[in-house]
Amino acid sequence: MLFTNCVLGQVSDSIHIHDPNLPDTFYIVHENVPKSKILGNSWYVAAAYNRSACTEYSAHVGRTYGTTFASGGGFNLSMKSWGVGYSYFYTNEYNSQSISAFAEISNFFLPPGTARLDYFYDIENQSNYLRPSLGLSLFAIDILYGYSFLLNGDENLFKHVFTLRFKYFINNKNWQKDYPNNC
């Protein structure tokens, strides 16, 4: 889309571009704009299976700021999530648990991708990890590859990680809706 005019004003919760001399004037309507983008507009619940040198099962809960954009050319969903989690993992030698915090940015439909950053603490070994991940987002399903960096401790059990994550967004009807409207 080419924007030839500047935004001239804001009417209620919509950005309004109007020039009576141009026949293709439009404005973008913003509905359900949240009061705080950090607190978001829905809840995030997820379960994941991670495969690396060990097998890991995890659950996460958090907040999501979701937006939808729909136009004549298609649609896009954008989700920015953050929260906390718990995981149980095991190898042939021992079992352990970890607690974590995460931040995630996902897009569906174009581009259908996810970027995620996890910080987690291995309770048994008292080690800290940082795991950036990238992958494919299919709205409720993520397929990710990540590499875990050992921040302290003796052995990195989670170097190369493949993740299958199932997500559910509670109250996603509260997401911000953006769409163009012709004058």
| pTM score | 0.79
Whole-number Å distance between alpha carbons of 128 and 145: 19
Whole-number Å distance between alpha carbons of 117 and 100: 10
Instruction: Take residue 120 and report the two structure tokens written for it.
Output: 């987690």
- Residue 74 burial by CB count (10 A; 0-12/13-18/19+): exposed, middle or buried? exposed
What pLDDT score was predicted for residue 145?
Answer: 97
Length of the chain: 183
Instruction: Take residue 37 and report the two structure tokens written for it.
Output: 């983008």
- Which CATH architecture fits 35-175? Beta Barrel (2.40)
- Helix, strand, or coil here: 174? helix
Whole-number Å distance between alpha carbons of 91 and 58: 15
pLDDT digits (tens, 9 = 90+) for 96-136: 999 999 999 999 887 899 999 999 999 988 999 999 999 99
Paired sense of beta strands 42-51 and 95-108, if any: unpaired
Instruction: Take residue 29 and report the two structure tokens written for it.
Output: 């309507």
- Interior CA angle at 34 toward 74 and 171, to 5°? 70
pLDDT digits (tens, 9 = 90+) for 4-31: 444 444 444 555 555 555 555 567 788 8
Instruction: Report the chain's mean pLDDT, rounded to a whole number.
Output: 85
Phi first, then psi, for residue 174 (nearest 5°) are -85, 0
